[in-house]
Amino acid sequence: MSEPRTALVTGGARGIGAEICRQLADRGLRVLVGARKREAAEEVCRGIGPAALPLALDVSSPLSVTEAVREAGELLGGGGIDVLVNNAGVSLDGELRPPYLDEEVLRATLDVNLLGAWRVAEAVVPGMVRAGYGRVVNLSSSYGSLALMDSGRHPAYRVSKTALNALTRMLAGELAGTGVLVNAADPGWTRSGMGGAAAPRGPEEGADTPVWLATLPEGDGTTGGLFAERRPLPW
């Protein structure tokens, strides 16, 4: 009997991230629940069962990323990570809008939403390429779509997601033909710590498109796209 695929979900301790972990485990994957606080990851794992393993991971820290991937290798007995869901993210904007700039907020937002995803991809994608199989899903937003951008609300968040979309396209192009598919998912306005209680969608709905992209079957060539409700969005 073959070993199950292994997925790493960053920001997996709550909201959409925790629901992505649950849905992936329900589909037979072994899930590494990444969270800044191991105790929070352990709580999610208890709710999922033995298919989930906790992992201390702060995507804003290069050292934490390196240590987490090393620990993941030990937990997996030398096995690799087949699926990466870059879910960790922040929204730190207040009411400030362009042309005014809060450089500290912009740097902090980019450090998690763009560089965090990039750091983890750098750490795990080479192993996917060697294995000839991989799925990378970056949690993005329609707010990052240039085609749909019509205001300056949430400026640092928007810029970070636009940059993440560019990273998605670059990775997809670089990895074409390797068996590694790279896509971005917009979960929609979802009830979570970031989305708030007024959002119309529950975590189950928000997790659907990321999980779909994370489990694209072999032979499916879907890569380099931005999707919402399993349908493509314009960049």
Q: Which residues are catalytic?
A: 157
Q: How far apart are CA 51 and CA 189, in angstroms?
A: 28
* CA pseudo-torsion sign 224, 229, 233, 235: negative
Number of other CB atoms surrounding residue 187 within 10 Å: 25
- Which uninterrupted H or E stretch holds 19? helix 15-26
Q: Round to whole Å and give the CA distance between 117 and 139.
A: 9
* Both structure tokens of 153: 């609300």
Match 């790279």 to its residue by tokens. 182
CA 232 to mean position of chain CA atoms = 17
Residue 205 CA to residue 39 CA, distance in Å, equals 26
Dump the DSSP string for 194-221. TTBTT-SB-HHHHHHHHHHHHTPPTT--
Task: Provide the b/e sequence for 34-53 (b: ≥16 CB within 10 Å).
Answer: bbbebebbbbbbeebeebbb
